[in-house]
Structure formats: structure tokens, C-alpha cells
Amino acid sequence: MSIDLIKNRIRDVPDFPKPGILFKDITPLLSDATAFNSCIDLLAEKVQRHKAEALVGIESRGFIFGAALAVRMGLPLELVRKPGKLPYKTHGLSYDLEYGSETVEVHRDAIRPGDRVLMVDDVLATGGTMSACCRLVEKLGGEIVGIAVLIELSFLNGRSLLEERPIHAVMGYDG
């Protein structure tokens, strides 16, 4: 399946969640098993060379792509969530947003020192959340070997916060 066919299954929703935002809705893509499978195939092809030992899915749509990719690659999936959502002991990291701050957490035993970790989410936008999640994994001793996303919104320049980490997107939007 071509990228154009996959892109056709991503719906633009204007003014969501607030006026001026053009939201990329992935639910039609998830409703098409063939298109979704193609996305996972493309992501797996792009990241296989990094020889990851674990995947980290970022709340919440990163869980969808992370779980499918973990199964495809035969790797464990660990979760990064908002505070209070994980049932076991956690490590957390707070980070600043444009207006306020946020915190992300991971189970203490999710990442071992030296683990080669691939980060997975649906969209790379401003890069703030992904950057914080990468720093959290590194705080636990993990090595970020790559970042995999379905969509990169390149006009928001999220790469600038992610230093030299390899970023792999199935598709990108320039504006």
C-alpha cells in the first residue's frame, strides 16, 4: 500500500481541540486493518536496523502503534504515562510546556541500564513530550536508538528538541 493511500485514511479535523488547530485524526486509519498493517510494516522496515531491545509507547496513541510494532518486532513494550496511571513504583520527569508544565512516568523496572530503546508515538509535533520521555528513559540508563512515529508535523520543528536522535516517520506534513 502506498503512502498516499495511507494518507487518505488520515482525516483532517479543523478547529480541534481548539480554534486554529488542524487535527490529524488517525481513527479512519485504525479502522482499516490493511492500511494499519502497512503502517506497522513501514515503521518496522525503517527501525529494524537500530537493533532495539525494547520499545517505549507514549500515552496514549503511542500505545497503539507501540504494541503493534512490538509484536511485529518480537520486542517488549514499556509504557510512559501521565502521573498516577501506572500501578507499580515509578520514576517521573517534569518538563515545561508553553503554558505550564507536565510530568511523565515509567515503571522503575521498565528500563535497565544499557537497554537499547526505540521510542514510539503517533505524532511528532513540537517535540516537548517526546524529548521529556527520552530524557526519562535515559535517566534510567536506557540508550535511545531511535524514534518512530506515524506522522511528523515538520512545520512545528519538533526535531530541534530531540538532538541527534534518529527519527523515522511514515509520513510528514509541512503545514
Nearest to 58 by CA among 160, 169, 136, 163: 136
Is 103 part of a structural domain of the chain?
A: yes
Is 24 part of a structural domain of the chain?
A: no
Who's near 158: CB < 8 A, 6+ residues apart?
124, 125, 126, 127, 128, 130, 152
Reading the block at residue 117, the C-alpha cell is 530503546
Is 88 part of a structural domain of the chain?
A: yes
Is 3 part of a structural domain of the chain?
A: no
Q: What is the pLDDT of residue 1?
A: 53
CA distance 77 to 121: 12
Express each pLDDT in 110-169 by its tens digit: 999 999 999 999 999 999 999 999 999 999 999 999 999 999 999 999 999 998 999 999
Is 8 part of a structural domain of the chain?
A: no
Active-site residue flag, 143:
no
Among 49, 72, 98, 165, the active-site one is: 98
Buried b (16+ CB within 10 A) or exposed e, 47-68: beebebbbbbbbbebbbbbbbb
Q: Dmax over Cα atoms in the chain, in whole Å?
A: 44
Among 11, 45, 59, 61, the active-site one is: 61
Is 101 part of a structural domain of the chain?
A: yes
Express each pLDDT in 65-80 by its tens digit: 999 999 999 999 999 9
Q: Where in the sequence is the domain holding 81, given as residue range(s)?
A: 49-173
Q: Residue 171's beta-bridge partner residues?
A: 151
Its pTM stands at 0.95
Q: What is the pLDDT of residue 42?
A: 95
| Total number of domains in the chain | 1
Are 52 and 148 spatial neighbours (Cβ–Cβ below 8 Å)?
A: no
Is 69 part of a structural domain of the chain?
A: yes
Active-site residue flag, 98:
yes
Q: What is the pLDDT of residue 143?
A: 98
CATH number at residue 115: 3.40.50.2020
E-assigned strands of 35-142?
Answer: 54-58, 77-80, 90-97, 100-107, 116-124
Is 79 part of a structural domain of the chain?
A: yes
CA distance 37 to 32: 9
CA distance 84 to 76: 22
Express each pLDDT in 38-92 by its tens digit: 999 999 999 999 999 999 999 999 999 999 999 999 999 999 999 999 999 999 9
CA distance 35 to 5: 8
